[in-house]
Amino acid sequence: FTRKHLGGSEPDRGSDGGDRNLHLPAFGTKEESGEVVKITNDDFGKRRDPKSSLFIMFYTPWCDHCMDAKPAFILASKGGSAGKEVNLKGTVFGAVDCDAEEELCQDFSIKKYPTFAYMPGNVKDVVPDEYTGERDAEEMVDYILTKSMGTSVPDEFFEEV
């Protein structure tokens, strides 16, 4: 589970200013994607920011398990059931379509779908941590907060109101 060059390639800036592509929704429209953005081989290096971490879902559109996990991943990107009350500490939720981005998925040795990976932003040459927890929004949010804060989030945080 490694990337040949974690810095990635230089982003394609084109004539439109370049960074606009960093905010493209991963799954169709913004409403369908929540806060999940599309990650490509061309923009991966630009996403390596010391002030934010990445939580990535590597998937394929034909994978039933991926499609089943997608709603939980999208909900987690919005803070789970707590929504905007959760500060995800600058974590960027991204999705990589391994059919379209074969090189990126090969670089990370992705062998199964979906694969979820966490990459802290403050470490440049890091092997991503594979998330192996439940495919549940609250579990994913707990994982992100634990990785960013170093302590487990109490269960009461997710109690139904």
Beta strands in the chain (DSSP E): 37-38, 54-59, 92-97, 115-119, 129-131
Reported as a single tens digit per residue, the pLDDT across 98-125 is 999 999 999 999 999 999 999 987 666 6
Phi–psi pair at 37, nearest 5 degrees: -110, 155
> What pTM did the predictor assign?
0.81
Phi–psi pair at 21, nearest 5 degrees: -65, -20
Mean pLDDT of 38-65: 90
Q: Please, what is the end-to-end C-alpha distance for the chain in angstroms?
A: 39
pLDDT at 9 (0 to 100): 41
Give residue 109's identity as a one-letter amino acid code: S
Q: Which of 17-26, 39-48, 90-99, 144-153 has the highest average model confidence (pLDDT)?
A: 90-99
Reported as a single tens digit per residue, the pLDDT across 26-49 is 888 888 888 999 999 998 888 777
Reported as a single tens digit per residue, the pLDDT across 149-158 is 875 556 666 5
> How far apart (Å, rounded) are the C-alpha atoms in residues 110 and 106?
6
pLDDT at 148 (0 to 100): 84
